[in-house]
């Protein structure tokens, strides 16, 4: 609608090889532990698998500020069944 704003759900883009390496599939919901000077876990992050992508997480400004993210901040994908894999 005109003048409306959307808030995108936190998500991780990756290619099929990375998805296999991390043990996730397109559409999976995972938690991501943000490794920063203000560590935060973001829950219900959607995995989006597509060729031509490389592992990259998209979060909103408020989430980024809460975790004190910088351009080189890394995260760890946490899945209930599989444990953790670095991102």
Q: What is the CATH number of the domain that holds 75?
A: 2.40.40
**Looking at the domain assignment, is residue 5 inside a domain?**
no
* Higher-pLDDT residue of 17, 3: 17
Is residue 54 exposed (0-12), middle (13-18) or buried (19+ Cβ within 10 Å)?
exposed
User: What percent of the chain is modeled with pLDDT above 70?
Assistant: 90
Inter-residue contact 12 to 46 (CB < 8 Å) = yes
**Looking at the domain assignment, is residue 2 inside a domain?**
no
DSSP 3-state assignment of 64? Answer: helix
- Residue 25 has what pLDDT? 96
**In whole angstroms, what is the distance from residue 23 CA to residue 85 CA?**
8
Total domain count for the chain?
1
- Residue 80 has what pLDDT? 64
Which structural domain, as residue segments, surrounds residue 26? 11-86
pLDDT at 86 over 80: no
- Does this model's pTM top 0.75? yes
Inter-residue contact 47 to 84 (CB < 8 Å) = no
**Looking at the domain assignment, is residue 4 inside a domain?**
no
Inter-residue contact 78 to 30 (CB < 8 Å) = yes
* pLDDT interval class at 87 (50, 70, 90): low
**Looking at the domain assignment, is residue 6 inside a domain?**
no
């Amino acid at each position: 609608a005109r003048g409306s704003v959307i808030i995108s759900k936190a998500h991780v883009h990756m290619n099929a090889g990375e998805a296999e390496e991390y043990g996730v599939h397109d559409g999976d919901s995972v938690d991501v532990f943000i490794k920063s000077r203000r560590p935060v876990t973001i829950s219900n992050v959607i995995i989006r698998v597509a060729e031509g992508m490389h592992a990259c997480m998209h979060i909103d400004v408020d989430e980024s500020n809460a975790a004190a993210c910088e351009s080189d901040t890394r995260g760890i994908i946490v899945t209930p069944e599989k444990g953790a894999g670095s991102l």
